Structure 1
Amino acid sequence: MPFPLSPQSIDAIAEVISGGGGNDPTPPIGIYRSGPKIEKFMRACNVDFRVSGSRVPSLVDCLLDINRGFEPSAVFPRVIEAAADPRDFAHDPPRHTAVLEYLNNALRYDGFEIQQQGTKVRLVVAGHSTPVIATLSGVAETISFDTVKLDLERALGSIDSDPEDAITAACSTIESVCRSILIELGQPLPAKKDVSGLFNAVKQPLALSPDRSDLDQQIAADVRTTLGGLATVIQGVGALRTHAGDAHGREKGYARVDARIARLAIHAASTVALFLIETWQRKFPSRTLHRHDEPT
């Protein structure tokens, strides 16, 4: 992630956490917190903080120390996500929207944005998330499908620093969903447990066969075309994992793929995974899709 943050972002974060100066007549952007409450907030983020003098300048100094510290990328996401926690604004959703907009107006210049994903917010690298990725993350959180969520977060976090790992994690997202669907339905896992084999195995129980007789002939042809394209996308993501990902090792002097290709794999895998989860929810509305890890 592109740290350190700019002074403008530091000031915006401090404004949201503190609620601004005590003598400011304008309504606070975030939640007004006294000195002890700011200390409590920071402790909850695993940051040791004591107000020394005025509360807002003390908080700014603390955030600047984090910014100059050894691992701002490990601390700032916790602090920023806690500052914009939707639960603190449940009584006033428009105010929460204003907080997100206020933070993003500063963070975007540093290459970040904070996004609502399901019932939580996440600090992400700007441009690395799309509506389908945000929706998938929210769905995965709602059904407690943390394998998909973790694979997705790993992929997004590795786009620039390790695009090969991002591709591997993107492929794992599809595999996690397919494997869990098969196990939940009591279906055997295919002999070939790669992403294409797993997808082919879930098509029949999810009624994704292009030969369905309950559809208009023209629509059935369109379905065949769409599902054929979906299968091609999955095959492509799997091939990228084999040839450019890190799942099967890297040859000495191997030319790294760039972030564009990693982002393409993540967007494609997210679309497929979301489609499969929503198909499950439509076909089995009374059943919960539980997570099933890969057998060891």
Structure 2
Amino acid sequence: MSISNIEIGTFLNFFNRGGYVLDFSTVDFDTFTHESIGVPLCETYKMSKGKSLVAYVKQASQQDIIKLFNDLMAHYELSPQKENDEQYQKKYADAYVKCRSILDRINTNTIADIESQKLKEVFNSDYISSQIDLMVKMQDDNPTEAIGKAKELIESCCKTILEKEGHIIEKDWDMTRLVDETFKLFGIMPKQISDDAKGAKSIKQVLGNLKAIAQGISELRNLYGSGHGKSSSFTGLEPRHASLAVGSSVTLVRFLWDSYVRYKHISDIG
């Protein structure tokens, strides 16, 4: 979870409007910031709302800055000021789009970081842990490589599970086949779900979508990811696309590993 100085400046130019901050009165702003980050800014810094915001951002942690920016953005999106900006203040309407995109990227990465840490704990594998760290780090710095690592994470998970259960993995198995075999092991292939089960249609749809994640990431890797030579005209995807691939791979792997833990528990007591 990180935000650059340039991005912070973009937010300050959006929120700080000539000393005012959005549509807050001084009292309301102090109440809002105290509830958000535990600091009534104007009371603390003895300056205008805008200058107090700038002063706080200069000394606060990135985590607290992002928390405050998220809360301010939520306030703005629910206020009449947003509609007014769209109609009469193109400068701020355009700035909103940029700020919203930055927050979406940061928030997506944060979720991926949390899920990745959980995976590192349960896999107990130095190799997989290093792949998760590398993948998350590369989302912004090297989206192409991150997409390649997202595919490798799914492959590593499936191979780990299948090998632990004594299954022979054929050399010609692609990632889709690896995921299929892992789903079969747990009896959770969509076609293995009884039509009589409660919510069978929805369960099959969700499982089918999870399997599709593997195929989609594999195709993305082939088109945009690492592992294949690219022509001189190659243009990679943006960090937000890499974040989608990383987050999706972590979600799938988490589900597969949780399913494996449940499978082992049932086997042990059986």
- Structure 1 length normalisation: TM-score? 0.53
1:240 aligned to 2:240? no
The amino acid across from 2:239 in the alignment is: A
Larger proportion of helix: 2
1:171 aligns with 2:151: yes
Q: Deviations over 1:26-79 (max 9, x none)?
A: xxxxxxxxxxxxxxxxxxxxxxxxxxxxxxxxxxxxxxxxxxxxxxxxxxxxxx
CA distance change for structure 1 residues 171 and 224 in 2, over 3 Å: closer, same or farther?
same
In the alignment, the residues of structure 2 paired with residue 182 and residue 278 of structure 1 have an alpha-carbon distance, to the nearest angstrom, of 14
Instruction: For 1:189, give the aligned amino acid.
Output: I
**Quick one: which of 85, 107, 114 aligns to 2:62?**
107
User: In structure 2, which of residues 122, 127, 134 is the aligned counterpart of residue 154 of structure 1?
Assistant: 134
* Inter-CA distance 214–190: structure 2 relative to 1 (3 Å threshold): same
Q: Which moved more, 1:194-203 or 1:278-287?
A: 278-287
Alignment partner, residue 209 of structure 1: 189
Q: Distance in 1 between matches of 2:170 and 2:181?
A: 7
Q: Name which of 248, 261, 270 aligns with 1:268.
A: 248
Tell me the distance in 2 between the aligned counterparts of 1:161 and 1:180: 28
* Aligned residue identity for 1:106: S
Distance 1:201 1:182 in 2: 8
Q: Which residue of 2 aligns with 1:55?
A: none
Counterparts in 2 of 1:69-80, with a 5 A limit? none
Contact kept? 1:108, 1:126, Cα under 8 Å? no
Aligned to 1:279: 259
Aligned AA for 2:148?
Answer: T
- 2:62 aligned partner, one-letter code: L
The alpha-carbon distance between structure 1 residues 274 and 247, as it changes in their structure 2 partners (threshold 3 A), is same
- How much identity, in percent, do the aligned residues show? 22
Aligned mates of 1:287, 1:217 — CA distance in 2: 22
C-alpha distance in 2 between matches for 1:198 and 1:165: 21
State the structure with bigger RCO (CA 8 A, min sep 6), 1 or 2: 2
* Deviation at residue 132 of structure 1 after TM alignment: 5.5
Match of 2:211 among 231, 234, 257: 231
- Cα distance between partner residues in 2 of 1:192 and 1:213: 28
1:249 aligns with 229
* Counterpart code for 1:107: Q
CA distance in structure 2 between the aligned counterparts of 1:146 and 1:111, rounded to whole angstroms:
31
Query: What residue identity is the alignment partner of 2:226?
Result: D
What is the CA–CA distance in structure 2 between the aligned matches of 1:138 and 1:214, rounded to whole Å? 31
Amino acid across the alignment from 2:241: I
Between the aligned partners of 1:152 and 1:264, the Cα distance in structure 2 is 14
Structure 2 segments unaligned to the other structure (5+ residues): 6-58, 68-104
- Could you report, residue by residue, the CA deviation over 1:259-279 in whole angstroms, capped at 9, with x for unpaired residues? 111011001100000000000
Contact persistence 1:170–1:266 (CA under 8 A): yes
Measure the CA separation in 1 of the matches of 2:4 and 2:198: 55
How far apart, in 1, do the equivalents of 2:141 and 2:182 lie? 33
Q: Secondary structure in 2 aligned to 1:159?
A: helix
Structure 1 pair 219–128 and aligned structure 2 pair: CA distance change class (3 A): closer
Distance in 1, matches of 2:235 and 2:116, equals 31
Secondary structure of 2:61's aligned partner: helix
**C-alpha contact (below 8 Å) 2:2/2:62 kept by paired residues:** no
Shift of 1:110: 8.3
1:244-293 deviation per Cα after TM superposition (whole angstroms, max 9, x unaligned): 001112221211211111011001100000000000011113899xxxxx
Count of residues in correspondence between the two structures: 179
Which 5+ residue runs of structure 1 have no aligned equivalent? 6-103, 113-124, 289-296
Determine the C-alpha separation between the residues in 2 that align with 1:202 and 1:269.
Answer: 15
